[in-house]
Structure 1
């Protein structure tokens, strides 16, 4: 009967051991998957933060003075365009007048015609040079205006910034939940290992007692049996001392984690208040930018 009990106990222990091994493998797989997800989300968070920082740098460049500079540049471009159109009209009028004069001069003497034609060519060359200079100035002004417009359009709106902030908060919360889940898996794995070790020790103790119970009845084996029991008792006490020490360490760690959690909660409260104030200031800033554009 005892042999049957031992076989059943060993069989149960082996089954438990196999089950624990399977759980360990599954936990490792889950842990690797969660770590991959964590790394992926961490990379995504870094990319979003990098884009947000770049947008912030661009936004900082466009202060009210920069907007005034853009307005002045627009005014200069409009003035240059008007001057260009006026000068073209003036040139056309002069060309028409010169053509009329040329028609009249063709009817005059050949000597007078050559002198006047030379003067007209010089004036025409001078006017053409001025026209080219104005055209070049207008093109340069258009290029500067296009660059400033591209930089200004690249600046994100307040809605986009708010979406970035919400996305950062969501990523932070998701990573915190994954971290808590990973810690729980580690704790559960360690607890299963401890349970397995204690179960094995308990079965070994019962097997030893069962093996020695027949001999313990005899007088010659009583002393050795008592010594074995004392040895087993000492090992149990040593294990209990280790467990007590581990329990105290875990208790201290728990108190420390509670203090850190309370500190983080306080910081989160301060952050939420600061974020609300920042969003309010951003809305005011956006309204001021809208007024400046008008």
Structure 2
């Protein structure tokens, strides 16, 4: 028993998968079922369908076509630049499928797929190895499609801005173009201007000294710097600054602009230089004071703007809060009213239920039916009143028209009547025309037979066909009978002529012995001729009889055998004639 189970051709959990040999013929091979592989297979197809490859939903396609087609589609969506032809269609031979799988595996290696896959795994439909690769391909293709969509969106926006502009952008460009001249004039007006020029370079080559000297040339003393660490140790900060300032001012001279635009150098004498030194601290103090006041004013303005905005927001929020409170109070009142109504209705419903439980069921049914009739009567009454109102309005309109017509004079009434008569004639003509068209269409429709008439026509045609076939067969039998009688007549005439010639030859031949021998010899030749004619006719009769039997056997085999008399006579018109000839020959 165990050996029979082991070597049985039908094993449990085994399915026959379709493979192809080298000639392209289908080969049935055994493939064991695996629950994990089946789950991975279904999951793989679901992933492909969710990604947009809907051919994986077709039940008529094999799993190999779905997997290879899905991998090819994902690679095409990934836009990976490979020098490989990945064209896939359903009518590929087994060799082309193997080559395509090898190309796909090579492309996956070039794409740096993190999961390994071999061609035989794809051909063997090992979904435990195919599933992670499909997951990675779908993920990369979806990401690439999203990136490509963003790229195309940015390109479309850029092209739009290159060829079109909003009205606000055009207004801003116009404002900037108009304000650029004013901005340039202001920049030229308040730009830095050089007031002094160096006479000789300072002895100290410190960067701080050069910066301070440059600022002094443009009228700005700048911050107080200390030139070096040695001066800091030798002198105090105040003494050092005054010495540096006097030294720098001695090395400067005024610059005066002439009308031609050229600058001339004017050397300062000690008195002008002293006045300049005295004026400089006052000017610096004024500038510092103005700068502080301007800074405080700017700060105050900057603080006032947010303050005003906050006040506006506070007022708006307070107003919204009051509105919300009013709405809340209204909703509370409505809620209380609805609750009161609900309580009242519940009380009434409870009372009705108690009354219904205590009342007689038959009486309750009768009351319900009467209430229903009452509702229907009220509804019909309302409809009747509405129809009466409509009729009353129409009648009132007619009365108004008649009153207006009667208020007119005779000529106007006659003109109105003539117009109405003319309108009535036109309407009648249109009605007659419409009726003629309807009649013509009805005639055309009547001319087209329906299914019942077509069935009657078909039945009548069958009857006529059968009648014509019977008449044709009868006519053919008449012709056959005529031919038979004609042949019989001809043979009887020949027989009569032959008998007359024999009688005449007998009287003449019996007169002499020589004539008797000639008569006997001629009579023998006549008998031989009759026998040969009889043999010929009998041979033809046998041939026609054999052919008739063959045709009759074929008709019986086909299930359409005809009666013997009419069929034979119709199929072989010469049979009766041959039969009559054979009979005449026997008589002779």
Bin for the TM-score computed over the shorter chain: 0.3 to 0.5
* Greater strand fraction, Structure 1 or Structure 2: 2
| TM-score, length of structure 2 as denominator length | 0.21
| TM-score, length of structure 1 as denominator length | 0.38
Rg bigger for which structure? 2
